[in-house]
Amino acid sequence: MFSKVLIANRGEIAVRIIRACREMNIKTVAVYSQADKESMHVHLADEAICIGGALSAESYLNISALISAAEVTDCDAIHPGYGFLSENAHFAEVCESCGITFIGPSPENIRLMGDKVKAKETMKKAGIPLVPGSDGGVKDKEDALKLAKEIGYPLIIKARSGGGGRGMRICHSDVRLVGALMTAQTEAKAAFGDSEVYIERFVQNPRHIEVQIVADKHGNVIYLGERDCSIQRRHQKVVEETPSPAIDAKTRKKLGELCVKGVKGINYCSVGTIEFLMDDKKRFYFMEMNTRIQVEHPVTEEVTGLDLIKLQIQVAAGERLKIKQEDIEFKGHSIECRINAEDPDNGFMPSPGRIDFCYFPGGKDIRIDSHIYAGYSIPPYYDSMIAKIIANGRNREEALNKMERALDELWIEPIKTTKSFCKDVICDPDFRRGNFHTGFLDKFLADEEPES
């Protein structure tokens, strides 16, 4: 096992990783930017090193500064968390070439899943269903028109190097296709440095369902059920839960086994998430695979009783998975609300600044993953998520009631937060009934601009 791990991240996930390391008797090194000197991860780690300026490009994305910090502190591994360099194959390669273990999958696997066309090809071979679409990139406008004829409208143009909803374009007719193609290519080039795009049939009002897997270096792979992440605003998840109210035990097993087969086919090792769209007839379509630990991992931990960060560290160190699929039980229901420092009454404008007062909910079945405290100043440079409230119950209704109670107890002053927005979702009758899809938040946001 590692003796010292550098955490190449900040905020709540850095705190979460430090906690897991502490319990595993692994020393930790925090890195921080000039804007994060007073951040909780700096305080909780065994050591801390300033690696650069406030801008992410100068600090949390600064590969040479991170490697130097790991070398001077004698770390044997780096945990990338989520975001930043967590899905950067080049960074994983640099770590390995310096003799530092990257706590994540191999650079080859990161690169393969980062190429959304190759990822689809790979999963198709394992028998995982895909949305009808171009098998490969789109060459030119003639190719696009020909593909549109086969696939039918509406269709969606996506960036080959994209993901997470960035740089997508929905198109309803031949008349718009050429323009949409050019816009998508230009945006893809600007955002990802790769103008290649692919086309899929646009699935109307889908649910976003993702399956958690864990794989070791010895060919053992387990699935840990699904998460329903359909409640999103502009591709940012707001509320996540497991189990999905739309999935039964038989479907869970079938989907989980498919995912296990998919990742076995690429010799994957780490935690990972396979994203699906589910249509109104409950058909599943593979979207993409995330090769990192995800923000919403706690709900899976709560219903399985497993610690995903510890598992991720153990498999990265070469240990065998001790748990077998048949030992895994999904117990009760877990739901997570993301609390952002944003003003829901003002277009979700970021609301950074000093927190004068902070009270977190607690009691039975409530978990808080956060790095904030009274006296802390939220810097304006990074993601605005400041806390995750996780509520558990024996069933969905109990978990929702506990979440409502927890949100009422949460008290953060004077900055604006998305707490009231989360409460509106939790109390919504359709949401309560489990009757929702990825367009659910549109009714709360009637005055927002459409995306395309």
Rounded CA gap, 56 and 61, in Å? 6
Structure tokens at 273: 């998430």
**Cβ proximity to ligand MV4, 37 vs 235, nearer residue:** 235
For strand 207-215 and strand 221-233, is the pairing parallel, antiparallel, or unpaired? Answer: antiparallel
Q: Please report the beta strands in 146-299, taking only residues with DSSP state E, as ranges in sequence order.
A: 155-159, 169-171, 197-201, 207-215, 221-233, 236-242, 270-278, 284-290
- How far apart are CB 177 and ligand MV4 at their closest, in Å? 15
CB of 277 or CB of 316, closer to ligand MV4: 277
| Shortest Å distance, C-beta 270 to ligand MV4 | 20
Q: How far is the CB of 439 from ligand MV4 (least distance, A)?
A: 7
266 close to 122: Cβ distance less than 8 angstroms? yes
Size of the chain, expressed as the number of residues it contains: 452
Residues in Cβ contact with 350 at an 8 Å cutoff, skipping those fewer than 6 apart: 341, 342, 380, 384
For ligand MV4, the closer of residues 203 and 269 by Cβ is 203
Q: Quote the least distance from Cβ 171 to ligand MV4, whole Å.
A: 12
Q: How far is the CB of 82 from ligand MV4 (least distance, A)?
A: 15
State in angstroms the smallest separation of the CB of 333 from ligand MV4.
21
Beta bridge partners of 350: 342
Instruction: Please count the other Cβ atoms lying within 10 Å of the Cβ belonging to residue 392.
Output: 21
Radius of gyration for the alpha carbons in the chain, expressed in angstroms and rounded: 21
End-to-end CA distance of the chain: 49
Q: Which is nearer to ligand MV4, 10 or 237 (CB)?
A: 237
Query: For residue 212, what are its two tokens?
Result: 């958690």
Cα–Cα distance measured from residue 5 to residue 70, given in angstroms and rounded to the nearest whole number: 8
C-beta of residue 227 within 8 angstroms of C-beta of residue 299:
yes
> Interface residues with ligand MV4 (CB under 6 A)?
131, 156, 164-165, 200-203, 206, 208, 232, 235, 275, 277, 287-288, 438
Contact 50, 34 (CB under 8 A): yes
Q: Which of the following is catalytic: 160, 252, 292, 396? A: 292
- Does the active-site annotation cover 432? no
Residues carrying an active site annotation:
292
